[in-house]
Structure 1
Amino acid sequence: MKFTMKDQAFETETAYGKLTVSGNEDYGFRPFQLMVSSIAVCSGGVLRKVMEKQRMTVHDIEIEADVEREPSEANRLTKISIHYTIKGDNLSEARVEKAVHLASKNCPMARTVEGSVEIKETFTLV
């Protein structure tokens, strides 16, 4: 990826369009937002695949991600709490809990920050 400075941001072109990143959200996505999005969506995508391989029917997964940061350490991310709201057929708490655990071990984005950012995952079945 190649990024070019534009005013208060950096931009790159992707297959899906222009991505603008800035430390000020008035000018683009903030870097931490992209990192949290990458981890949450990667985790959710892996979870969906794991559940489907285990023959669970998934109709929808909604993901909420809350972030904790440490101001005294350059405002670094310290914890990401990911909550999945999962809609499907005949889903059991025990099977989904095992799938969430397995998915967390197979998400490359989450594994990349392992040891430096705590990731907590919870879910609700609807």
Structure 2
Amino acid sequence: MKFAAKENGFVTHLSYGDLHVSGDEAYGFCPYQLLVSSIAVCSGGLLRTVLDKMRMPCTDMKITADVTRNEAEANRIEKIHLHYIITGENLKAERVQKAVEAASKNCPMVQSVKGSIVVTESFELLS
């Protein structure tokens, strides 16, 4: 990836479109938003795949990401809690818990921040 400076941030040109990144939300996505989004969406995508393989496909999934930052240390991200709201038929809580654990263990984004950012998960099931 190549990033070019612009007046209020940076831009990179990707096959899907341009990605504008800035510390000011008025000019692009903030870096912390991209980091949290990468972790949430990577985990959620893997969770859907694992549920499909376990023959428990979901018809809908929403993810809430609660972020804890430390202002005293450069406003660094210390914790991310992912809460999955999963809709589907025949979803068994015990098996979904195993799927959540497998997704987290195999998510490249979660594993990339392991030891630096605490990532926790919870879920609720809707039918």
TM-score (norm 1): 0.98
Letter in 1 for 2:28: G
2:48 and 2:57 in contact (8 A); partners too: no
Give runs of aligned pairs for residues 36-115 of structure 1, distance below 5 A.
36-115=36-115
Displacement of 1:58 after TM fit? 1.1
Q: Which segments of 5 or more consecutive residues in structure 2 lack a partner in the other structure?
A: none
Q: Any runs of at least 4 consecutive aligned residues in structure 1 with deviations exceeding 2 A, and if so which?
A: none
Report the CA distance between 1:81 and its aligned residue: 0.7
Q: Which runs of 5+ in 1 are unaligned?
A: none
One-letter identity of the residue aligned with 1:95: R
Shift of 1:33: 0.2
Measured in 2, the distance between the counterparts of 1:15 and 1:55 equals 33
TM-score, with length taken from structure 2: 0.97
CA distance in 2, matches of 1:87, 1:65: 18
Kept in 1: contact 2:68–2:79 (CA 8 A):
yes
Count of residue correspondences? 126
The Cα of 1:87 is off from its aligned counterpart by 0.6
Structure that is richer in strand per residue: 1
In structure 1, how many angstroms separate the alpha carbons of the residues matched to 2:87 and 2:55?
14
Deviation at 1:26, TM superposition (A): 1.2
Partner of 1:27: 27
1:33-63 deviation per Cα after TM superposition (whole angstroms, max 9, x unaligned): 0000000000000101111111112111111
Contact in 1 for aligned 2:66/2:82 (Cα 8 Å): yes
CA RMSD in angstroms comes to: 0.6
